[in-house]
Structure 1
Amino acid sequence: MFDYPTLKIIWWLLVGVLLVGFAIMDGHDMGVGTLLPFVGRDDVERRVIINTVGPHWDGNQVWFITGGGAIFAAWPLVYATAFSGFYWAMLLVLWALFFRPVGFDYRSKIANTTWRSVWDWGLFVGGAVPPLIFGVAFGNLLQGVPFQFDAYLVSTYTGSFWQLLNPFALLTGVVSTAMITMQGGSYLAHRTEGIIQARTIRATMGAALVMIMAFVAAGFWLQSIDGYRITSVVNASAMPDPLSKTVVREAGAWMANYSQQPLMWLLPAIGVLGAALTAVLVALRHTLIAFISSSLAIVGVIGTAGASMFPFVMPSSTSLASSLTVWDSVSSHLTLGVMFWATMIFMPMIIVYTSWAYSVMRGKVTAAYIRENDHAAY
Structure 2
Amino acid sequence: MDFIPIDYETLRLIWWALLGTLLIGFAIMGGMDLGMGALLPAVARTDDERRVMLNLQGPTWEGNQVWLVLGGGSIFAAFPPLYAVSFSGFYLAMIVILFALILRPVGFKYRGKITDPRWRSAWDWALFIGGFVPSLIFGVAMGNALLGAPFNLDTTLRPSYLGNFFGLLSPFALLCGLVSLSMLIVMGAVILAARTEGAVAERAARYGQWAAVTAIALFALAGFWIAFGIEGYVITSAIVTDLPSNPLSKEVMREAGAWLNNYGQYPWMMIAPILGFAGMAGAAIGIKARPGALTIISAALGVLGIVATAGLSMFPFLLPSSHNPVASLTVWDATSSHLTLFIMLIATAIFLPIIIAYTSWVYKVMSGPVTNSSLGKNPNAY
Is the CA contact (8 Å cut-off) linking 1:22 and 1:63 kept in structure 2?
A: yes
Q: 2:157 maps to what in 1? A: 153
User: What's the CA shift for 1:112?
Assistant: 1.2
Task: Work out the CA distance in 1 between the residues paired with 2:240 and 2:202.
Answer: 56
How far the C-alpha of 1:61 sits from its partner, in A, is 1.1
Counterparts of 2:335 and 2:377, CA distance in 1: 53
Q: Secondary structure at the match of 1:148?
A: strand
Which of 133, 139, 145 matches 1:135? 139
* Residue 370 (structure 1) shift: 2.5
Matched, 1:239 2:238: no
Which residue of 166, 181, 198 maps to 1:162?
Answer: 166
Q: Secondary structure at the match of 2:234?
A: strand
Measure, in 1, the Cα distance between the counterparts of 2:377 and 2:364: 22
Structure 1 residue 264 corresponds to structure 2 residue 269: yes
Which residue is equivalent to 1:69? Answer: 73
The Cα shift of 1:251 comes to 1.2
User: How far apart in 1 are the matches of 2:352 and 2:193?
Assistant: 28
d(CA) in 2 for partners of 1:220 and 1:142? 14
| Residue pairs, 1:1-378, within 5 angstroms | 1-224=5-228, 225-373=230-378, 375-378=379-382
Q: How many residues get paired?
A: 377
Q: CA deviation at 1:310?
A: 0.4
2: CA distance, partners of 1:372 / 1:324: 54
- Segments of 5+ residues of structure 2 without an aligned counterpart are none
Deviation per residue, 1:279-338 (Å, 9 max, x gap): 111112233221111110111011100110000000001111100000000000011001
CA drift of 1:36 comes to: 1.1
- How far apart, CA to CA, are the structure 2 residues paired with 1:46 and 1:101? 15
Shift of 1:111: 0.9
User: Cα distance, 1:266 vs. partner?
Assistant: 1.4
State the one-letter code of the partner of 1:129: V
Aligned letter for 2:185? T
Question: What is the alpha-carbon distance in structure 1 between the residues aligned to residue 311 and residue 346 of structure 2?
Answer: 23
TM-score scaled to structure 1, two decimals?
A: 0.98
**CA distance, structure 1, for counterparts of residue 366 and residue 102 of structure 2:** 25
Residues in 2 aligned to 1:190 and 1:53: alpha-carbon distance in whole angstroms: 13
Equivalent AA in structure 2 for residue 251 of structure 1? A
- Partner Cα separation in structure 2 for residue 130 and residue 328 of structure 1: 29
Name the SS for the 2:367 alignment partner: coil
Looking at structure 1, the residues matched to 114 and 376 of structure 2 have their Cα atoms a distance apart, in angstroms, of 15
Unaligned runs of 5+ in 1: none
Partners of 2:152 and 2:292 lie apart in 1 by: 47
What is the alpha-carbon root mean square deviation over aligned residues?
A: 0.9
**Matched residue of 2:112: which SS?**
coil
Letter in 2 for 1:357: V
**Alignment check: 8 A CA contact 2:193 2:291 kept:** no
- Are the counterparts in 2 of residues 189 and 287 from structure 1 also a CA contact under 8 Å? no
**Contact (CA 8 Å) 1:187, 1:288: kept in 2 or not?**
no
For residues 132 and 287 of structure 1, the distance between their equivalents in structure 2, rounded to whole angstroms, comes to: 27
Distance in 1 (CA, whole Å) between partners of 2:257 and 2:264 is 10
Aligned-partner Cα distance in 1 for 2:257–2:107: 45
User: For residues 14 and 41 of structure 1, what CA distance do their matches in structure 2 show?
Assistant: 40
Matched residue of 2:370: which SS? coil
Local SS of the residue matching 1:107: helix
SS at match of 1:34: helix
Contact 1:28 1:180 (C-alpha < 8 Å) held by counterparts: yes
Cα deviation digits, residues 184-242 of structure 1 (max 9, x gap): 11111111011111111001101101111110000000012111000111211100000
Comparing 277-286 with 311-320, greater Cα deviation is found at: 277-286
Residue type at the aligned position of 2:286: L
Q: Which amino acid aligns with 2:376?
A: R
- TM-score with structure 2 setting the length: 0.97
